Amino acid sequence: MDLDMAQVRAFVRAAEELHFGRAAATLAISQQALSKRIARLESLLGTELFRRGGNGVRLTEAGQRFLPPARHALAAADAAVAAAVGQDRPLRVDVWGHLYAPMRTLAQVAGQAGELVLGHGRDLPSVTAALLRGDIDAAFGRVHPPLHAGLAHRLVRLEPVDAVLSAGHPLAAEPALRPEQLRNSVLWAPGALDRLDFLHQFAERFDIRDRAASVNLGLGHFLTEVADDPRRFALLPADVPLPSVPGLCSVPLVEPTPLYAWSLLWRTGSGHPGLDGLTAACAAEAARSRWLEYDPAHDWLPEPPARGGRS
């Protein structure tokens, strides 16, 4: 029996998503095409792999047995393609969102992900273009819609965000702040707000009317500007180490806590075998460090946390 790897890939992605629409989107095909591939695979195997019902889909016992070896078969096929086309090289990964220090997160998984070569993208549009050209294999940063149909992503980390204030700010002594308490303050951004999706959506959601932009000359310079004006505040992930800037303080945000989403992004159909190692390392660290905890009653995200897959 000869397996069609496109059918196997459709099965694995649908098994990970348990939603044919989302699975089809990550493969850049229509839901109808994905359903046909899975139906042909079931016909070839002579057994159903999914139970389809009003509450979605779930794996049958045969599907559960088939999933692990199907993943191994895909990994072997991707490795064979990579070897044939000369992709026996390090995985090229760009990062963006440098003020928020994406390297902190990537460094925690790099040791388990094989050999990586790191680059520095400017923003999501520039990284998207590099991925589609094949200049890089993957990228790491904040993903937001609209996302090009030829790309897929996996949510890696949801990181609580703090307000960073001048020590002279009227709210600087508070143990915690609700985002709405910042309405009379000035949101200080490291660039034009229309290019900084997370900050723009935060300002819109919590009615922050006063907004101003700096020039991104690095975190130290940016936070010095915050410390110099008692009306300004900035937003930074809670784990970003603050530089030694006099007159600066960090206050947690609560009710709700804004979460900054880090994702791994790649071109659909990419055959570099290092992608599997990197996504597996990210998933393992996320489980170990509880990176993906999200409570809609207490947390705020610009978009719901869709969790993509890799197969």
Average pLDDT over residues 263-278: 83
Nearest to 112 by CA among 286, 262, 269: 286
Up-side HSE of residue 271: CA atoms within 13 Å toward CB? 15
Q: Output the six-digit token pair for 218.
A: 């690095």
Q: Quick one: pLDDT band at residue 255, thresholds 50, 70, 90?
A: very high
Q: Report pLDDT for 311.
A: 42
| Residue that is written with structure tokens 């400017």 in the block | 122
Closest to 235 measured CA to CA, from 191, 202, 192: 202
What is residue 260's predicted lDDT score, i.e. its pLDDT?
A: 95
> For the chain, what is the radius of gyration of the CA atoms?
22
Q: Which of 180, 206, 167 has the alpha carbon at shortest distance from 302?
A: 206
Nearest-angstrom CA–CA distance, 30 and 158: 29
Rounded CA separation 140/93 (Å): 7
Q: Tally DSSP H helices, then E strands, for the chain.
A: 9, 12
pLDDT in tens, 126-152: 899 888 888 888 999 999 888 888 888
Q: How many CA atoms lie within 13 A of 167 on its CB side?
A: 5
C-alpha distances (whole Å) from 52 to each of 18, 32, 59, 63, 105 are: 10, 14, 9, 12, 38
Mean predicted lDDT score pLDDT of the chain? 87
Q: In the prediction, which pLDDT does 87 show?
A: 52
Q: How many residues does the chain have?
A: 311
Mean pLDDT of 78-98: 75
Please check the confidence at residue 215 and state whether its pLDDT lies above 50: yes
Neighbour-count burial of 107, counting CB atoms closer than 10 A to its CB (0-12 exposed, 13-18 middle, 19+ buried): exposed
Which one has a higher pLDDT value, 75 or 289? Answer: 289
The residue-averaged pLDDT of 285-308 equals 84
pLDDT digits (tens, 9 = 90+) for 172-211: 999 999 999 999 999 999 888 888 889 999 999 999 999 9
